[in-house]
Amino acid sequence: MAMASDPFGFAPAIAVFPLVAFVITLLFGRHLPKKGALPGIIATGGSLVVSLVMAAAVAGGGEHHAQLYEWTAGAAASETGAETVAFTFGILIDPLSALMLVIVSLVALLVHVFSLGYMNAEGETGLPRYYAELGLFTFSMLAFVFADNLLMAFMFFELVGLCSYLLIGFWFRTESAPSAAKKAFLVTRFGDYFFLIGVVAIAATFGTVGFAGEGSFVTAAETAIEDGATLFGFDAQTWVTITGLLVLGGVLGKSAQFPFHTWLPDAMEGPTTVSALIHAATMVAAGVYLVARMFGYYALSPTALAIIAFVGGFTALFAATMAVVKDDVKQVLAYSTISQYGYMMLGLGVGGYVAGVFHLMNHAFFKALLFLGAGAVIILMHHEQDMWEMGGLKDKAPVVYYTFLAGALALAGIVPFSGFWSKDEVLFDALAVGLSEPVILAAYAMGLVAVFFTGFYTFRMVFLTFHGEPRSDTAEDPHPVGWAVKVPLLALGTLAAVAGLVNMAPIAKLAGVDITFLEFWLDGEYGYVEGLTYHHYHETVAEMAFEESYIGSETTTMLLSAGLSLGLALAGAVTAHTLYNVPDPDRHTTKLGGAYGVLKRNYYQDEYQVWLAEGLTLPLARAADRFDQTVIDGVVNGTSTISLFGSDWVKRIQTGIVTNYAALLVGGFIALLLVFGYLGGWFA
């Protein structure tokens, strides 16, 4: 740790670079070449380099935990007896955050580069604003990732939310973009409300909001549970569950999990590059990353874990079914994002910390790829997004096609593309726990069924977009794309294809070789922070929550699970192939019957949420307003009327005639005398 030149000293620079780019672009973007893209590219490139240095340092056995700034500290007795509480900014670089920093800065860099082709080349206006917001977005997310405590995480979590609001509403002159931005902001804010309460509750309970070390709330919670403490009238574990679920509110909002997922499809109103960033590395990833970051805390509560797992499994299936009937290429991807984050939640919820993080990483690559690919398609199609207007783009734009295909294979989970390995591991972990926990088994079943749908909608999208005959004039003669589009696609395409190789658990088991590198990475084989390792989490989960069981042996179960999911994915892909990989595909909507309408309307989720707002909240608000207007205001106005009337009356006592005064004075005195004389019995 104590190296001569500690590379960790540069850690703050990771976030500072994009912040500087933000300031520069905001102030001088108008006058810069490329309207401010260059500072952003340089800054995110710098962040990537420093992040890689951090990762290398962690690989070399290092870790970093330092306080940067103290907001305030003071004596405040907490429920567990800690006497002081301090609110600080600090940096925590451990395997998890180092990995995430690399992912975020890499995706941000590629998005910046891609934007040259997507925004600059297309002659968009307001580019300095775009790049400035992109810089701020990257800064917020990076600072969120290396936050060493919950309060700092919350602050940057909010900043991330603000930036996505700004970017989703980038085309603020249209009607739909501002509305989508507002929706994203409000829905996530609803979740964050609970998050904030959770932060306060944790601070009040444990007197600390730190993630790592002896003074972390995770350790404090562990101690409290071991001591059998009673916190705020609850059993310690129950209280951990309650606070954990409060924080989870923010996670569900940000990661677009049911029932807070409705904002995400609308968020497609933002530029496609922004969608790529939001879905792959920043906004939506923030939620799941937070669960991974404080996984030790959730590991203490089987209830919270089960809820995470179940919500995850349910969302995975739920969103996947909706993706099946979407016509807009970005909509399909949006629902696939919701679904994939469901898998991550499922993985984390069953204690599969490595699986969850693994899928988070792979998804970052292939979803960024798919969105950028979709962006490329949109350029090709002159900003047409309806897949039924496309077709046959395969031969016109081979680079886009093959990279997109790599992403699609990864998303569908076809071996050996990255998504297969991580999704399989998630499902295997879920199955292992599910065999003894019915709730988890249900979550697993939903996740498994969703694999079929994933394969189906993914390839439906691929076939409709790239295969068959062109179905419109623009598809006949697409707009060419430049290097700024191709380079990021190629980079991500490669990653989507090979990233899964870092943790080939089934191969490792079968061949008996140690090639599960990601697991080693997260398990403290290299640098690590005490208490934040997979090992530790695994033990906690085993002790507090779930035990694992297998069908036959562990290897059989693993093969069974892998075979099942791969088979289903292929089945889905083949179905799509039969239905849509024809020169002139049909919509096949009638085959779904009544289900089509339900799916097309997204299970009426928007409708019921709108109903909640208009049918329930609004009348309630109206009633409250009426109460306020009539009763409260009435009382207030009545009071003032009475007061003023009384005032007039009182004024009249003062007649100006001194004999009246004398009479009143004596009269008042005598009244007082009578009362007291009576009470004191003076007249007896």
Partner 1 sequence: MAVVDLPQWLALAPALLLAATALVLFAFDSINPHTTNRTLFAGTTVVGALASLAVAVWYAAAGVGATGIENYGVIDIMGGQFVVDQLALFFMIVVAVVTALVAVASHDYLRDHAYQAEYYSLLALAATGMSMMAVSNSLVTVFIALELTSLPSYALVAILKDNRGSVEAGLKYFLIGALSSAIFVYGVSLVYGATGSLQLEAIAANLDAAGEMGGLLGLGILMLIGGIAFKTASVPFHFWAPEAYEGAPAPISAFLSSASKAAGFVLAFRVFTTAFPLEATTAVIGVDWTWAFVILAIVTMTLGNFAAATQENVKRMLAYSSIGHAGYVLIGLAALSTPSGDLVMGAAMIHLLVYGFMNTGAFLFVGLAEYWGVGRTFEDYNGLATQAPVACAAMAVFMFSLAGIPPFGGFGSKYLLFSHTIEAAAENTALLAAAAALVINSTLSLYYYSRLVKALWIEEPLRERDALATPTGLYAAIIAAAVVTAVILAAFGPIADVATEAAAAVVG
Looking at beta carbons only, is 69 or 649 nearer to partner 1?
Answer: 649
Which residue type does 221 have?
A: A
511 binds partner 1 (CB under 8 A): no
Q: Give the residue from 537, 543, 542, 548 showing the smallest Cα distance to 297.
A: 537
DSSP assignment letter at 499: G
Q: Is the bond into 259 cis (omega within 30 degrees of 0)?
A: yes
Min dist CB 672 to partner 1, Å, is 6
The verdict on 611 binding partner 1 (CB under 8 A) reads: no
Of the candidates 372, 162, 135, 373, which has an alpha carbon nearest to the alpha carbon of residue 286? 162
Distance CA 317, CA 343 (A): 9
Coil, strand or helix at 85: strand
618/673 with CB nearer partner 1: 673
173 is a contact residue toward partner 1 (CB under 8 A): no
**Stretch of 91-99, 252-260, 442-450, 668-676 contacting partner 1, by CB under 8 A:** 668-676
DSSP state of 84: E
Per-residue tokens: 236: 């310690």
Q: Candidates 125-133, 494-502, 570-578, 672-680: pick the segment binding partner 1 (CB under 8 A).
A: 672-680
Distances (CA, A) of 383 to 479, 613, 654: 10, 33, 82
Helix axis angle, 236-254 relative to 150-168, nearest 10°? Answer: 20
- Report the distance separating Cα 21 and Cα 26, nearest Å: 8
The answer to whether 404 touches 497, Cβ cutoff 8 Å, is no
How many residues in the chain? Answer: 684
Alpha-carbon distances of 150 from 68, 255, 507, rounded to whole Å: 15, 17, 38
Q: Which of 28, 172, 483, 682 binds partner 1 (CB under 8 A)?
A: 682
Other C-beta atoms within 10 Å of 28: how many? Answer: 12
Regarding 676 and contact with partner 1 (CB under 8 A), the answer is yes
Q: Which distant-in-sequence residues (6+ apart) come within 8 Å of 465 by Cβ?
A: 329, 377, 387, 390, 391, 393, 404
Instruction: Tell me the per-residue interface mask from 431 to 470 with partner 1, x by CB under 8 A, - otherwise.
Output: ----------------------------------------
Q: Specify the residue, 228 or 680, whose C-beta has the smaller distance to partner 1.
A: 680
Our CB check for partner 1 shows the closer of 75 and 679 to be 679
Cβ-based neighbours of 622, under 8 Å, separated by 6 or more: none
Considering beta carbons, is residue 617 or 637 the nearer one to partner 1? 637
In this complex, which beta carbon is closest to partner 1, that of residue 482 or of residue 646?
646
Nearest approach in angstroms of CB 663 to partner 1 is 10
The smaller minimum CB distance to partner 1, of residues 610 and 644, is found at 644
Minimal distance, residue 634 CB to partner 1, in Å: 17
The residue among 173 and 651 lying less far from partner 1, judged by its C-beta, is 651
Residue 640 as a binder of partner 1 (CB under 8 A): the answer is yes
Does residue 643 belong to the site contacting partner 1 (CB under 8 A)?
Answer: yes
Q: Show the binding pattern over residues 644-663: x = contacts partner 1 (CB under 8 A), - = does not.
A: x-xxx-xx-xx-x-x--xx-
Is 641 among the residues that bind partner 1 (CB under 8 A)?
Answer: no
Do the strands 230-231 and 84-93 form a parallel or antiparallel pair, or are they unpaired? unpaired
Smallest distance, partner 1 to C-beta of residue 684, A:
8
Residue 1 as a binder of partner 1 (CB under 8 A): the answer is: no
Decide if residue 638 touches partner 1 (CB under 8 A). Answer: no
Residues that bind partner 1 (CB under 8 A): 640, 643-644, 646-648, 650-651, 653-654, 656, 658, 661-662, 664-669, 672-673, 675-677, 679-683
